[in-house]
């Protein structure tokens, strides 16, 4: 029985046959179903050559419109809607991922994998759209969060560095100083005296 013949709900759990099609990039299942990855918010064709997702993060769709209606964005690599994904939309996927995962280890390669593109192309497009590189965006996001923590908590500077994704305290202080013009301790003292 073809997948289309089943009662069509907007989304469904991926079964073993569909999972095998996804991890083996089986093009014979293209247009039979599409799959979305909850952690990235991107949906693909079964034949997509992107990094294999984790099974528990995958949801199935019968039509691209179903995925779009649930807030998933089309993969830039396999183009499940048949159309090219606008660069602005692609960059939005990356910035959204960074905003939610900045405490984790993030590299250009990781961002390219989650957004289904190449590191070089991502770097070039991201800089053209935002005016800064993805790595600068990560550092800016981390320092914005660090400023909030310095002003509102009594956590140590080392703990704050770890919470924003920089485990080396000296490196955290150097990055903070480079981007803000002051040390974390000086920033904290100025914040508390301004209250």
Alpha-carbon 194 to chain mean position:
36
**Active-site option among 44, 48, 75, 78:** 44
- State the SS3 of 125-142: HHHHHHCCCHHHHHHHHH
C-alpha distances in Å from residue 160, one per residue of 72, 102, 173, 192? 33, 13, 10, 16
Active site residue 48: no
C-alpha distances in Å from residue 127, one per residue of 53, 60, 84? 27, 33, 19
Whether the Cβ atoms of residue 55 and residue 14 lie closer than 8 Å to each other = yes
Strands 42-44 and 58-61: unpaired
By annotation, the residues acting in catalysis are: 44
């Amino acid at each position: 029985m073809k997948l289309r013949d089943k009662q069509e709900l907007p989304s469904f759990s991926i079964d073993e046959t569909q999972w095998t099609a996804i991890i083996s990039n089986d093009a014979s299942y293209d247009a039979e179903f599409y799959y979305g990855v909850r952690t990235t918010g991107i949906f693909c064709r079964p034949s997509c050559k992107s990094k294999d997702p984790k099974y528990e993060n995958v949801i199935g769709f019968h039509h691209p419109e179903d995925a779009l209606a649930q807030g998933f964005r089309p993969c830039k690599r396999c183009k499940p809607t048949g159309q090219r994904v606008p660069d602005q939309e692609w960059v939005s996927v990356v910035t959204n991922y960074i905003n939610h995962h900045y405490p984790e280890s993030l590299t250009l390669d990781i961002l390219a994998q989650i957004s289904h593109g190449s590191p070089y192309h991502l770097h070039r497009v991201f800089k053209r759209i935002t005016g800064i590189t993805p790595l600068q965006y990560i550092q800016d996001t981390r320092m914005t969060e660090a400023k909030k923590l310095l002003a509102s908590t009594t956590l140590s500077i080392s703990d704050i560095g770890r919470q924003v994704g920089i485990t080396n305290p000296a490196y955290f202080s150097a990055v903070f100083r480079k981007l803000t013009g002051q040390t974390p301790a000086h920033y904290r003292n100025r914040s508390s005296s301004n209250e």
